[in-house]
Amino acid sequence: MAHTTIQDLTAQVSIQQGAVVSRVVHRDADLDVTVFAFDTDEGLSEHTATRQAIVQVLTGRLRLTVDGEDVDMLPGTWVIMDPGAPHALVAGEPTVLLLTMLRS
């Protein structure tokens, strides 16, 4: 496959009341790309990943806590985390997020 095109990443998931929804939109030997939808006040408790991860907010607003630092994320905010970095997040409003996980 020479390339992959997704015209509207936000259309790949829908925000559901009181829920977190996710959909893998691409997976290959080098990376996994997942789109998440978070309702207001929904999130992920603190955890770590074994791979480098990039988080991008597409719509909405959330607070990402990474390595003990709070980052207020709006559309266009981009954060890259090293493997093993403790992180958690909570949406301040309905939010769509793009997660890219890289393989070494």
- Percent of the chain scored above 90 by pLDDT? 95
The residues, ordered by sequence, that sit 6+ positions from 79 with a Cβ below 8 Å of its Cβ are 54, 55, 56, 64, 66, 71, 73
- Say whether pLDDT at 40 is over 90: yes
Q: Give the residue, 2 or 81, on which the prediction is more confident.
A: 81
Kindly report, residue by residue over 54-88, the tens digit of the pLDDT. 999 999 999 999 999 999 999 999 999 999 999 99
Tally of CB atoms within 10 A around 44 = 16
Confirm or reject CATH 2.60.120.10 for domain 19-102, answering yes or no: yes
Percentage of the chain modeled with pLDDT above 70: 99
Residue 39 to residues 15, 85, 102, Cα–Cα distance (Å): 6, 24, 26
Tokens for 103? 């393989």
In this prediction, residue 1 carries a pLDDT of 59
